């Protein structure tokens, strides 16, 4: 599918390239609006669909969450989902280096591996909140 290279589509491509991590359509919209303020969510969804069909973007399915998208053509990697801010990050390389014991006659053709926890920003805020709480202060937590 041949895509017209509109200013909107260029802003969307730049958003995904600059973020360097999988983005939800809403996250991509926030990044892209820095380049093209009049961009709307319907246009974002249309362009994401076209960029996936063209092979420029790949969907990233996170268990229990909405689909994120990342730029295609990267080396094999996995993903980390922050439970604090709900962002998804790339983890370089393959952390699933051991071979599982498959039932007799089964043959594995691919795998998925997700890590879940707190990103550095949420982890630091969580520690700060714990310090405030331990000293009787009124701390509020926020997300990335």
Domain presence at residue 98: no
Enter the tokens of residue 59.
């969907």
Whether 41 shows a pLDDT value over 70: the answer reads: yes
Predicted confidence at residue 142, as pLDDT, reads 34
Predicted confidence at residue 4, as pLDDT, reads 58
Domain presence at residue 105: no
In tens, the pLDDT along 66-123 reads 899 999 988 888 888 899 998 989 888 776 656 778 899 998 887 777 888 999 989 8
Domain presence at residue 96: no
Q: Supply the DSSP string of 71-116, one letter for each residue.
A: ESSPPSEEEEEETTT--EEEEES-S--SPP-PPTT--------EEE
Domain presence at residue 85: no
Name which of 77, 83, 94, 84 is nearest 22 in CA terms: 77
Q: How far is it, in rounded angstroms, from Cα 24 to Cα 59?
A: 10
Tally of structural domains, the chain = 1
Quote the domain boundaries for residue 56. 1-74
Domain presence at residue 49: yes
Predicted confidence at residue 42, as pLDDT, reads 95
CATH of the domain at 11: 1.10.10.10
């Amino acid at each position: 599918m041949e895509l017209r290279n509109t200013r909107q589509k260029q802003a969307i491509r730049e958003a995904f390239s600059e973020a360097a991590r999988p983005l939800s359509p809403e996250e991509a919209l926030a990044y892209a609006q820095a380049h093209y303020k009049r961009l709307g969510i319907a246009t974002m969804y249309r362009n994401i669909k076209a960029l996936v069909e063209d092979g420029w973007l790949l969907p990233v399915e996170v268990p229990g969450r909405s689909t994120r998208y990342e730029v295609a053509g990267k080396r094999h990697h996995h993903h980390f989902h922050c439970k604090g801010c709900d962002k998804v990050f790339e983890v370089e390389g393959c952390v699933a280096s051991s071979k599982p014991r498959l039932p007799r006659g089964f043959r594995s053709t691919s795998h998925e591996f997700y890590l879940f926890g707190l990103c550095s920003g949420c982890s630091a805020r969580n520690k700060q909140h714990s310090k405030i709480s331990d000293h009787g202060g009124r701390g509020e937590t926020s997300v990335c």
